[in-house]
Amino acid sequence: MLNSTNRFIKELRKELTSENVLSELEERYAYAQDASNSINIAGIPDAVVFVRNTEDVISVVKKAKKYKIPIICRGAGTNTVGACRVEHGGIILNFSKMNKILEINKENMTAKVQPGVILGQFQDEVEKLGLFYPPDPSNLRVSTIGGSIAQSSAGAKTFKYGSTKNYILDLEIVTANGEILHTGSDTVKNATGYNLTSLFVGSEGTLGIITEATVKLIVKPESSKVIMAYFDTVDDAVNTVNMIIEQRITPATIDFMDFNAINTVEQFYPTGLLCDKEAALIIEIDGFKNTIDFQEKIINDILLRCKASAIQISHNEEEYNKIWMARRSSMGACAKIKPNVTTDDVIVPRNNLAKLVKGIQNICEKYNLTTCLVGHVGDGSVHPQIPIDYNDADEYSRFKLAKSEIYDLTISLNGTISGEHGIGADKREAISKVVNTSALNYMREIKKVFDPENILNPYKIF
Ligand SMILES: Cc1cc2nc3c(=O)[nH]c(=O)nc-3n(C[C@H](O)[C@H](O)[C@H](O)COP(=O)(O)OP(=O)(O)OC[C@H]3O[C@@H](n4cnc5c(N)ncnc54)[C@H](O)[C@@H]3O)c2cc1C
């Protein structure tokens, strides 16, 4: 006698073919973890299901509803908060076969994409046509558009261009009932009813399943250049951020690496970073070619006034890529120090940035933890990356205490516990520190409206 899960999987296999339904133990284990790198694998999926089109998704959802089986969507699994871990059984819905760019419309400056499209590849295709899709999480070479929408991802270029939220015009959603819902329209403006698009962006797969997205594009800046400025103190680096912003010039990015991040990257992925410096800012300027020198001069003057002790400037694409590769390698490099690595994502209003950066460094020092600090500091956003050995119980308990203090510090500085990585499973307990009871209750009611049976990524976020 088959139980309901087995009946469900049997039906899926019949409809989607066996090659699209993986259920061997080792296959299921491979999808039990995500980039949150949790200490415990809470559970493993009952099956991993590859969908090829919206009809497949509808069919899976209807069957899951019938058998009350949870569905956990998964793009590349690179979220850092346990958003696609399987805690209550159910299937992983894998979008790697829904990876087509359906349209790039030059006239409208919009594109339609399936959720499994790799973000970096999409940017490349758009840029070939002189257009630009700015949202750029640091791991854009592997993460998917669907995951970035569900997680409300941002990235270095948020400072000038905004985040994923600002570029989504319409989502095709398969609801928990198996119906298709459109959240917006193909137009670049829309004041027609509630803004459902905004509700679904950042909903972490808990409200509906994204099967297609219409995104806004902008004109690709004609030219860009990246300036890596080094400082002998963290204070000097952070003060420089404010000085740049006080001028009427808006770089595309103002990113940050501290001493540990610089040295760890240089140890494992050497690119010629200056290892005796306490901090570095990665400032990208872009725009018309004939404005680049002007912007560079203004920034250079500010850097010198703010005691930058060394400046590296990209003169060609290779040098440009080298600097960004160094910044984007920090988590990979940290992962080489100890068996595990964790990252976090706290954000404060920019005027409290210095207190946050120094505070995190002090907390980690107090608990004898190494931290590599990187961040999109132009936004007030900081990622403490902490290498750790989960087998060391004492280190793990110090790590938990440090995390809690980092959240308390962030909140005391009027910040919040996620600027771009989301809440998932890992920050669920902390959400009530920053979202008040009334707002949380409305969120719970919204969840019930869209997913009354609680089958879509259950119990994530709150
Ligand atoms: C090294 C590193 C650097 C990073 N840098 C940044 C950064 O700079 N900025 C930033 O914002 N983030 C960053 N992140 C986090 C990560 O990039 C984002 O969360 C990412 O966009 C997730 O994409 P993914 O395809 O891996 O999604 P997944 O991790 O697979 O999924 C994320 C969430 O989306 C849901 N989901 C996936 N597909 C769908 C769908 N079709 N419909 C509904 N829900 C869906 C999942 O259920 C899950 O809740 C970084 C992560 C790493 C590991």
Domains and CATH numbers, the chain: 4-94 (3.30.43.10), 101-219 (3.30.465.10), 222-336 (3.30.70.2190), 337-422 (3.30.70.2740)
Distance from the CA of 78 to the center of ligand 1, in angstroms? 5
Q: What confidence score (pLDDT) does residue 216 get? A: 98
Closest-CA residue, ligand 1 atom 44, reads: 205
Average pLDDT over residues 266-273: 95
Closest-CA residue, ligand 1 atom 9, reads: 137
Kindly report the average pLDDT of the chain as a whole number: 96
**Rounded to two decimals, what is the model's pTM?**
0.96
- Residues forming beta bridges with residue 168, ordered by sequence position: 215
Average pLDDT over residues 299-326: 95
The mean-pLDDT minimum among 36-40, 324-328, 341-345 falls in: 36-40
* Cβ contacts of 52 within 8 Å, gap of 6 or more: 16, 20, 97, 98
Average pLDDT over residues 143-172: 97
Q: Candidates 85, 94, 138: which one to mutate for ligand 1, based on the most atoms within 8 Å of Cβ? A: 138
- For residue 376, the ligand 1 atom closest to its alpha carbon is 8
pLDDT in tens, 350-360: 999 999 999 99
> Two tokens at 184?
């917006």
Identify the CA nearest to 131 among candidates 203, 17, 221: 221
Q: What confidence score (pLDDT) does residue 1 get? A: 57
Average pLDDT over residues 368-391: 96
CA distance linking residue 439 with residue 413, whole number of Å: 21
Ligand 1 close to Cβ of residue 202 (< 6 A): no
Cβ neighbourhood burial of 289 (10 Å; 0-12, 13-18, 19+): exposed
Average pLDDT over residues 195-203: 98
Strand locations in 288-323 (E) = 308-313
Residue pair 133/215 in contact (Cβ under 8 Å)? The answer is yes
Residue pair 213/125 in contact (Cβ under 8 Å)? The answer is no
Average pLDDT over residues 35-58: 94
CA distance linking residue 76 with residue 147, whole number of Å: 7
